[in-house]
Amino acid sequence: MKITIGIPAFNEEKNIAKIITSLKKITDSIIVCDDGSSDMTSEIAKNLNVIVVKHEKNMGYGAAINTIFQRAKDIGTEILVTFDADGQHRIEDISKVINPIEENIADVVIGSRFLKENSQVPNYRKIGIKAITKVTNASIINHKVRIYYEDSQNTTYKNTPSTTGTNKSYLLTQNYQ
């Protein structure tokens, strides 16, 4: 399966090279959406031979994600993983997110380190993240019974029937550090 990592980025010249270099160890298909940066984010990414799409002005995170989705579709991506450019996501967690898709357990997996109630995230961020998650769920899945369960590794799966009729979409949350 063609796995692409999509990176929305805004003024991330300090982090982007390290992130791309690390991600190249697991895929050769990387898309960076430079969302109107005024720094060297695009140039650094281009020099690392990844696909770069640049917004002329800052359009926001959602627009950057949408641009990544469109470009990933154009290049025949089968699995798209979005990965923030700020260096806060762990590259080793990508396999946990794509594994349910590769094993035909899920059509959609959304990983988050913020959904556990005991996380050290400020409440205002939890509220924002939960709102974004609800909007995302509404846009990619239909609303039927949702089932939560945890496995032995503190991974919570939220079963949500998919729009493809396979009933294999999951919201995957991991108690990331």
- The answer to whether 134 and 152 are in contact (CB under 8 A) is no
Tens of pLDDT, residue by residue over 75-96, are: 999 999 999 898 888 888 888 8
pTM, entire model:
0.70
Q: Is 162 left (phi over 0), alpha (psi -120 to 50) or beta?
A: beta
- The answer to whether 174 and 93 are in contact (CB under 8 A) is yes
Who has greater pLDDT, 72 or 125? 72
Mean pLDDT, residues 2-14 taken together: 95
Residue 162's closest CA among 99, 98, 104? 104
**Sign (positive/negative) of CA torsion 157, 158, 160, 162?**
negative
Q: Does domain 1-89 have CATH number 3.90.550.10?
A: yes
Tens of pLDDT, residue by residue over 31-65, are: 999 999 999 999 999 999 999 999 999 999 989 99
109: which 2 tokens? 């997996």
Residue 105's closest CA among 173, 158, 27? 158
- The answer to whether 161 and 147 are in contact (CB under 8 A) is no
Domain boundaries, the chain: 1-89, 95-177
User: Following DSSP, what letter does each residue of 114-163 receive, concatenated?
Assistant: S-STT----HHHHHHHHHHHHHHHHHHB-----EEEE-TTSEEEEEE-BT
